[in-house]
Amino acid sequence: MHVFDMENEGNVRGGGVRALNQRLHDLAVDDCDVPWRVENSKGAHALACGMKVGATIDIAGHAGYYCAGMNQHAMVTVHGNAGVGLAENMMSGVVRVKGQASQCAGATAHGGLLVIEGDASARCGISLKGGDIVVGGSVGHMSCFMAQAGTLVVCGDAGEALGDSLYEAKIYVRGQVKSLGADCVEKPMRDEHVEHLSGLLKAAGMEADVTAFKRYGSARQWYHFHADKAGNY
């Protein structure tokens, strides 16, 4: 295992994050068999961003803003909490947080799997474009706002305006939803949805009764602009 100590390699101002990310970016495909461990992260921002190879990276502590942003192929695990913009614009791979996640987790993700074992704050999955997000706890308000594709699974509760201005993303919630956003409605859970949800929970390593979930999606009433309804926009 490669160990990168943020204190020994230099603090954040001294280039610790830059040095870490450069070493990770320099990895070739053949170098990914040996996992990496980042110690003394202390909430540093932009850890393990822009990965393009299938490396396994464990962050032994909390992460700050935009951890694992733009991830491709890598498997990144945060053994703590993560700040704003976790796995933002992720393309593929797996990002897992053992603790809680702040606002905008998985924003604009095009692919891959984001697993948050605790709670996620507001706007989880905002503008989601194809990635899958599984949250073991609850999510805050405006989650999946303008989500275009992909899936959000919430094993706890959801805050206000869930799925506001939703397009074709799918939402599954086991707990209570405080309110639905504009054009978001509850939809029936058919066999294919149970199978889809079961697969995501299994991939995330979570156990939950799939029959307890409800499915939400777009009513498809706001797809096109209607001049005679301009006052409603």
Query: In the 3-class helix/strand/coil scheme, how is 38-85 assigned residue by residue?
Result: EECCCCCCCCCCCCCCCCEEEEECCECCCCCCCCCCCEEEECCCECCC
Check whether residue 69 and residue 149 sit in a common domain: no
Give the pLDDT of residue 224. 67
CA distance 95 to 112: 8
121 shares its domain with 167: yes
pLDDT band at 227 (very low <50, low <70, confident <90, very high): low
- Taking only the tens place, the pLDDT of each residue in 159-196 is 999 999 999 999 999 999 999 999 999 999 999 999 99
Say how many domains are in the chain: 2
Q: Which residues pair with 97 in a beta bridge?
A: 78, 116
Domain boundary among 76, 98, 120: 98
Same domain, 126 and 203: yes
User: Of 74, 98, 122, which residue is a domain's last?
Assistant: 98
Residue 30 pLDDT class (50, 70, 90 cuts) = confident
Whether residues 2 and 66 fall in one domain: yes
Distance CA 78, CA 91 (A): 18
Q: Same domain, yes or no, for 114 and 199?
A: yes
Torsion of CA 147, 165, 162, 113, to 10 degrees: 0
Task: Please give the mean pLDDT across all residues of the chain.
Answer: 93
Q: Which domain holds residue 87?
A: 1-98
Q: What is the pLDDT of residue 89?
A: 97
pLDDT on residue 223:
66
pLDDT category at 13 given cuts 50, 70, 90 is very low
12 pLDDT above the threshold of 50: no
The answer to whether residue 104 scores a pLDDT higher than 90 is yes
Residue pair 206/188 in contact by the 8 Å Cβ criterion: no
Tell me: do 70 and 107 sit in the same domain.
Answer: no
> Residue 15 has what pLDDT?
61
Please determine, for residue 201, whether its predicted confidence score (pLDDT) is greater than 80.
yes
**DSSP 8-state symbol, 100:** -
CATH number, domain of 159, equals 2.160.20.60
When pLDDT is cut at 50, 70 and 90, the band that residue 24 belongs to is very high
Residue 88 near residue 63, CB atoms below 8 Å? no
- Predicted local confidence at residue 14, as pLDDT: 47
Q: Is residue 31 domain-shared with residue 57, that is, in the same domain?
A: yes
Backbone CA torsion sign across 94, 47, 45, 146: negative
